[in-house]
A = this chain, B = another copy of it.
Amino acid sequence: MRFLHTADWHIGRRLHGFDLSAEQEDAFQQIEQIALDEQVDGMIIAGDLYDRSLPAETSVAQLDRMLQRLNLTDHLPLYAVAGNHDSATRLATGNPWYQSTNFYLATKLEEAFTPVELPDTQIFLLPYFEPFAAQQYFNDETLVHLDQAMVPVVEQMKTQFNPQKKQILVAHFFVAGSAKTDSETQLTVGGLASVPAALLQDFDYVALGHLHGKDALHEPHMRYSGSPIKFSLSEAQQSKGVWIIDTDPFQLTFKPLKPLRDVQQITAHFDDLIDPTFYAQFDRENYFGFILQDRKPILNALPRLREIYPNVVSLSREEGYSTAVESQGMSGKQIRQKDPVALLGDFYESVAKEALTAQQMSWAKETLKIANDGGTKS
């Protein structure tokens, strides 16, 4: 069978205050088109459908439209789980009705142990859960951490395995991968809150959500799909898309998504950024995080950049300003006795790594004179 694997839609998410609903809609339409073009047998959505447990009405309306479109208009079977950003309770509204159209949604741990039975595949839908839920379900207080809790979870799933079928696990948590050397496979456990990949080896495919980059894990039969769009500057370098999984023979294909507005991190001098020949290379509607290589003060840098790039999401300095001014061995008394204009020149050079120009020096002298004369300009 062939499935599309996506996750971490985070409907309602904002990027440094910018509304991403148009980006979400655009990515969704691409995902829908890929599903139709690839004639998949269903779509896996591995958690974090919403960005918040209490989504805004507009987010509710947007996700509702998307799911109705896929399942009711396109007649695509859906296999979804709640992520840690979702409210399991709120997401579950309507759930018992969804199965009539092959929309399978798991929001509670206990739902993970009854797989969706397809002719040659079993799909286990494991929502995000806290170890406490496993303690209650298994009546075992020793299941304090996620890696401990996942041992009986997988064991119980295996009791349902039909050897005539393939098994797919849909889950939403952090999986710590294995690092393979030439001679052996060494297991690297990432911590108490992560699940060792080895624990999940008996599934034919593990469709993961939680991490936003598709390259977060490179186990042969496990993948994070990553989010459909970039949600932060730290994701600027990631390639976003969805996986197409064929179960028999097993094959994984990554289908990239083209961003409506990309998220880019640019390191440059201010004068370059405002130079038309420089910015001609960019789609200026993108979301930009700028890192200025300048050290000198730049008046109104952000408003000036926003005139050219309307969607600046962050502005910082590569080197910062010098915060500690070097006193170059002079005592406080010596500094206080210096000529004020010379002192300003030293300070400017110390911060901006440039001397004052003759024009700047002349402005400084004039302003100082006005100040000394009582504050009125002649």
In the assembled complex, the Cα of A103 lies from the Cα of B101 at a distance in Å of: 16
A residues contacting the other copy or chain, number (CB 8 A): 20
Residues of chain B within 8 A (CB-CB) of A268 are none
Tell whether, in the assembled complex, residue A98 and residue B94 are in contact, meaning their CB atoms are under 8 Å apart: yes
In the assembled complex, the Cα of A120 lies from the Cα of B17 at a distance in Å of: 54
Residues of chain B within 8 A (CB-CB) of A98 are 94, 97
Residues of chain B within 8 A (CB-CB) of A378 are none
Tell whether, in the assembled complex, residue B72 and residue A60 are in contact, meaning their CB atoms are under 8 Å apart: no
A100 at the interface (CB under 8 A from B): yes
Residues of chain B within 8 A (CB-CB) of A103 are 97
- CB A320 to nearest CB in B, in angstroms, measures 43
A109 at the interface (CB under 8 A from B): no
* Given the contacts A54-B54, A57-B87, A93 and B96 also touching, CB distance less than 8 Å: no
Tell whether, in the assembled complex, residue A89 and residue B61 are in contact, meaning their CB atoms are under 8 Å apart: yes
Most buried by B among A64, A95, A100: A64
Tell whether, in the assembled complex, residue A57 and residue B101 are in contact, meaning their CB atoms are under 8 Å apart: no
B interface footprint on A81-92 (CB within 8 Å = 1, 0 otherwise): 000000101101
Q: Which residue of B lies closest to A71 (CB)?
A: B97
The list of the 9 closest CB pairs from A to B, nearest first, reads A94-B94, A97-B97, A57-B89, A100-B100, A93-B93, A61-B89, A68-B96, A60-B89, A64-B93
12 contacts between A and B (CB under 8 A): A57-B87, A60-B89, A61-B89, A64-B93, A68-B96, A93-B94, A94-B95, A94-B97, A97-B97, A97-B98, A97-B100, A100-B100
